[in-house]
């Protein structure tokens, strides 16, 4: 490699000598890529096709020592740095322009301690990787709903999905983390070691360091759960959503049900005449016994006159992948999200108006229900800000052609603005796009100031700023 000009923390450039880059490469078990390397484009490509950034250098890390060396290199040269785990974040913060990208995707180890019911997970691991290892032993970790998501970003932002109501958020099951901080030192964060850092990692995103290993608590589950979809005509949506809301008031912790509104994909169990038409889908999962699952899902399955009901026993790992075909890489994506403490009639009306204006066949709105065990943990116990039983609305604009950008983004923003007067001030940071920097402080509510103080202690120069950024307290 030749001498290179890299973007620095002052938004200018810094020239780094070829000798310095060679010295970095010599320290690594992994490798250093630049634009001339055949693997460069693949390494910088992430899930959201709207993101097309070009780092000057990419360090692909094989282990924790590589992460330490990469962070020290960025610190010493005051470089703009981004960190890639699974590369699934909607804002595209995994990739920077002109700076140094630390790529953790080669770090894919998952080790399960069956007796202790613990998993030790590296940051390049996907949710599917976790499920495959843990389910081999009849164990599970509560994570998200798209199995190609990376465990690192999901965890640091909170992490919720099908079994959160029974077992808590992903962060509620985090026992410890090995973290490379901005000064290039490895520390351990747990309830007894660097507890302030441990508090901040649980919901505070990638602001405080690079996690090289997560230790999680696991739970007995599977191999089968009662799960599946109930599909309704959109013309019945107002009634379906109102009865859905009412049924959840008495739902046990084992039961989670989300509502999805979109044009029906060509699913094999749907009559062909419904393909491409607007529908309301109740997606449910019960993580207890199968007989109990039949009983618990009955009130939701008795709503209205569905087009199809395919709720049945399914392998848990398979159910975790059920939505993957609708969320494959390569599409352009833009999200807007709100938290609602209740799904009011006014909110339902806003959602229904929006579905009538769907700009494309892959656009959708989903409403996820969070509560149960997750709501019984005090707000101040972790950085994650929203512990009340609530609904998370995510407006998912998804399309293929760049000339659809304005239409699809505008549709998502319109729904967001209409719903905002009815919403809580908090937000799920993992669902926030890159244009919501002004929303971060409000999203964390009363936890923000403590996060800013911890940021000042562990990253006073804001080296880790490619995230939903918490700025160091002055």
Domain that holds residue 82: 4-103
Regarding whether 160 and 23 lie in a shared domain, the answer is no
Which residue's structure tokens are 């009955």? 298
CATH number of the domain at 175, please. 3.30.465.10
Q: Decide which of 82, 103, 124 is a domain's last residue.
A: 103
In a domain, 470, yes or no: no
Regarding whether 429 and 301 lie in a shared domain, the answer is yes
Tell me: pLDDT of 1 over 90. no
Regarding whether 407 and 267 lie in a shared domain, the answer is yes
Query: pLDDT per residue over 221-263, tens digit each?
Result: 989 999 999 999 999 999 999 999 999 999 999 999 999 999 9
What 412-417 contacts at long range (C-beta under 8 Å, 24+ apart), as own/partner pairs, is 412/334, 412/335, 412/336, 413/336, 414/354, 415/336, 415/350, 415/351, 415/354, 415/365, 416/336, 416/337, 416/338
Nearest to 212 by CA among 82, 122, 100: 122
| Residue 264: DSSP 8-state | P
- Alpha carbon separation from 326 to 100, 184, 266, 274, 333 (Å, rounded): 32, 39, 11, 17, 12
Q: Decide which of 52, 81, 103 is a domain's last residue.
A: 103
Buried b (16+ CB within 10 A) or exposed e, 79-109: bbbbbbbbbbbbbbbbbbebbbbbbbbbbee
CB 238 within 8 A of CB 261: no
Regarding whether 248 and 184 lie in a shared domain, the answer is no
Regarding whether 196 and 160 lie in a shared domain, the answer is yes
Regarding whether 140 and 72 lie in a shared domain, the answer is no
Number of domains composing the chain:
3
Cα(17)–Cα(5) distance, integer angstroms: 9
Regarding whether 212 and 114 lie in a shared domain, the answer is yes
Regarding whether 401 and 260 lie in a shared domain, the answer is yes
In a domain, 473, yes or no: no
Regarding whether 398 and 261 lie in a shared domain, the answer is yes
Can you tell me the mean pLDDT for 55-79?
Answer: 98
Regarding whether 276 and 228 lie in a shared domain, the answer is yes
Regarding whether 264 and 205 lie in a shared domain, the answer is no
pTM above 0.95, yes or no: yes
146 three-state secondary structure: coil
In a domain, 458, yes or no: no
Q: What is the pLDDT at residue 381?
A: 97
Main-chain phi, psi angles of 42, to 5 degrees: -65, -40
In a domain, 52, yes or no: yes
Q: How many CA atoms lie within 13 A of 454 on its CB side?
A: 26
- Mean pLDDT taken over the chain: 97
Q: Decide which of 194, 221, 248 is a domain's last residue.
A: 221
CATH number of the domain at 39, please. 3.30.43.10
- Alpha carbon separation from 45 to 48, 53, 83, 195, 211 (Å, rounded): 8, 8, 13, 35, 21
CB 266 within 8 A of CB 288: no
In a domain, 451, yes or no: no
In a domain, 123, yes or no: yes
In a domain, 455, yes or no: no
Regarding whether 156 and 199 lie in a shared domain, the answer is yes
In a domain, 440, yes or no: no
Q: What is the pLDDT at residue 281?
A: 98
Reported as a pLDDT band with limits 50, 70 and 90, residue 119 is very high
CATH number of the domain at 333, please. 3.40.462.20
Helical segments of 122-190, H only: 127-135, 151-157, 164-167
């Amino acid at each position: 490699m030749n001498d290179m000009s890299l973007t620095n923390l002052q938004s200018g450039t810094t020239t780094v000598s070829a000798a310095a880059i060679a010295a970095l490469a010599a320290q690594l078990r992994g490798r250093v890529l630049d634009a001339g390397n055949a693997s460069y484009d693949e390494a910088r490509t992430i899930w959201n096709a709207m993101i097309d950034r070009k780092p000057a250098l990419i360090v692909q890390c094989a282990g924790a020592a590589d992460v330490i060396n990469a962070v020290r290199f960025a610190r010493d040269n005051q470089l703009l740095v981004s960190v890639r785990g699974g590369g699934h974040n909607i804002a595209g913060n995994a990739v920077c322009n002109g700076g140094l990208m630390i790529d953790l995707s080669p770090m894919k180890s998952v080790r399960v301690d069956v007796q202790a019911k613990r998993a030790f997970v590296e940051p390049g691991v996907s949710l599917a990787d976790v499920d495959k290892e843990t389910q081999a032993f009849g164990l599970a970790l509560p994570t998200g709903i798209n199995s190609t998501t990376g465990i690192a970003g999901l965890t640091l932002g909170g992490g919720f999905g099908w079994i959160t109501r029974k077992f808590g958020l992903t962060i509620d099951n985090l026992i410890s983390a090995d973290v490379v901080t901005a000064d290039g030192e490895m520390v351990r964060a747990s309830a007894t070691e660097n507890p302030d850092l441990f508090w901040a990692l649980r919901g505070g995103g990638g602001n405080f360091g690079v996690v090289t290993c997560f230790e999680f608590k696991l739970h007995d589950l599977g191999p089968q759960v009662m799960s599946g979809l109930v599909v309704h005509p959109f013309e019945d949506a107002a009634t379906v959503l109102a009865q859905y809301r009412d049924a959840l008031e008495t739902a046990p912790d084992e039961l989670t049900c989300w509502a999805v509104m979109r044009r029906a994909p060509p699913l094999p169990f749907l009559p062909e005449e419904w393909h491409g038409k607007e529908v309301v889908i109740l997606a449910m999962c019960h993580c207890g016994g199968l007989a109990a699952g039949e009983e618990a899902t009955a009130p939701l399955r008795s709503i209205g006159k569905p087009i199809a009901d395919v709720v049945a026993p399914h392998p848990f790992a398979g159910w975790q992948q059920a939505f993957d075909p609708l969320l494959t890489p390569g599409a352009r994506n833009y999200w807007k999200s709100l938290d609602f403490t209740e799904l009011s009639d006014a909110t339902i009306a806003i959602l229904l108006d929006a579905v009538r204006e769907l700009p494309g066949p892959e656009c959708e709105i989903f409403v996820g229900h969070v509560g149960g065990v997750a709501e019984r943990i005090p707000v101040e116990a972790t950085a994650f800000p929203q512990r009340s039983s609530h609904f998370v609305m995510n407006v998912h604009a998804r399309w293929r052609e760049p000339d659809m950008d304005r239409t699809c983004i505008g549709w998502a923003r319109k729904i967001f603005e209409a719903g905002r007067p009815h919403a809580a001030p908090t937000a799920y940071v993992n669902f926030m796009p890159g244009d919501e920097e002004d929303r971060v402080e409000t999203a964390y509510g009363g936890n923000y100031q403590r996060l800013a103080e911890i940021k000042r202690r562990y990253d006073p120069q804001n080296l880790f700023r490619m995230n939903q950024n918490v700025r160091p307290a002055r």
